Each structure stands twice: as C-alpha cells, then as structure tokens.
Amino acid sequence: MDKVKARGRRFWDEWVRPLLIVALVLGSFRSAFADWNDVPTGSMKPTILEGDRVFVNKLAYDLKVPFTLWRLARWADPERGDIVVLFSPHDGKRLVKRIVGIPGDRLEMKERRLYVNGRPAEYQPADGAATPIEGAEFLRETVNGRTHLIMLTPGRPNFDSFEPVDIPAGKYFLVGDNRDNSFDSRFWGFADRESIVGEATAVALSVDLNNYWLPRWSRFFSRLE
C-alpha cells in the first residue's frame, strides 16, 4: 500500500502537477494577454476568410483578470474601424466583427451606404483579391479617414437600410464586411463595451476548408485592415 501511495505521489509530483502549472500559465496568458480565434463563417469576407485563425490582442484596450471580464486597468477604447472579438449579445458566442459606430455616434444606412453623424462614407470600386466570388461587388469603404474592403452580393438576404440610431454610452455598433451575409448589430442591436475581449490584428494562419484543408500560405502572418 505504501508503494502504491509513493508511486501515486511521484506521478503527481513529476507529471500531473507540472502539466497543471503549464496549463494554468498558458490559459492565463491566452485569457488576459493574447489569444487566437478560428473563423468558421464568411461574415467578414473579403477581409477574413473561412479557415483563417486570427490573432487577438487582448491588451489592445485594457487588462482583465484571467478567465473573467473584470477589468484591472483601461488605457484605450475601441475605435471606429477596429476589428474586434466579442461575446454576442444574442447567444453569448464569440464573434469577429468590425466596429462602425462608437458611443455618441448617430448611425444610419441607406441602400447599403453607411452614414456616420450625418456624413456618408466614401466608396470606391476595389479588387476582391483573395476572394474571387462570382457576382460579388467589392468596394473600399472610408469613414473618418479609415479605409477597408467590404463585399456586396446581389440576391443574398440583406439588411441594406435602417433609420438613424443614436449609440448610447458604453455601447458599440458592429457589422461584418460581408454586408449581405452577416448576423450583426443590424439584427441584435448594440454590444456592451465589456463584451469586447480584444482587437483582431492579424491572420496567424489559414487553411482552405473547401480544398482538403490545404494551407493558404499567402495569408500567414498577414495584417488585418
């Protein structure tokens, strides 16, 4: 019996406890400092593709207690145009979306064109680059000097217009770059500041889900805009 206890103690000391410590350290790092997020849908096309794994900077705006949403320090707030990871107000799932409206903004959409504080966004035709999709239209959308690609797909279900909305304090309005195929603030409303866990800043790696999961080497370590 003593030998069994001794072996059990040795197994705990030499294997289990070190592995638990490593798991706790890595989990704490991913929870509070940096993480990744796999993207299974095309709601952020053409910026983010299905099969991308995006790097999430959890120190972009604040420092939280690991494994919680309790904030220890705050040094910035999300800005219009940021791509963020958040917990959905609809069902609590993690989402990747782009912020188009911040607290105090008045936001409106008319026939797929965005208006921020009464001023229309600027639109220019663009090449879809890594996302050749038949029938899709690619535009460069510029709001307050920040430009990014969006995709419009004629014939797809969409929410292409809404009346002006005033964004309350502590709330954000987020949409997908794939404007006709994104379940976002147009459907579930504002997101709380506390639900935003970090900024998605780059594609860490990418695989083609429709082509035997082959790597998309050109997307590895590419910056998100």
Same structural domain, 145 and 130? yes
Q: What is the pLDDT of residues 179-209, one digit of tens each?
A: 998 999 999 999 999 999 999 999 999 999 9
114 and 142 housed in the same domain:
yes
Query: 20-46 pLDDT, tens per residue?
Result: 655 555 544 455 566 888 998 999 999
Same-domain status, 25 and 40: no
Residue 186 CA to residue 196 CA, distance in Å, equals 17
Kindly list the catalytic residues: 43, 97
Q: Convert the pLDDT of each residue in 92-128 to its tens digit.
A: 999 999 999 999 999 999 988 999 999 999 999 987 6
> Can you give the C-alpha Rg of the chain in angstroms?
21
Burial grade of 46 (CB within 10 A; 0-12, 13-18, 19 or more): buried
Do 135 and 70 have their domain in common? yes
Residue 53 has pLDDT above 70, yes or no: yes
Structural domain that includes position 87: 36-223
In whole numbers, what is the pLDDT of the chain averaged over residues?
Answer: 86
CATH number, domain containing residue 113? 2.10.109.10
3 pLDDT higher than 70:
no
pLDDT the model gives residue 192: 96
Same domain, 69 and 126: yes
The domain tally of the chain equals 2
DSSP state of 13: I
- Inform me whether the pLDDT recorded for 161 exceeds 80: yes
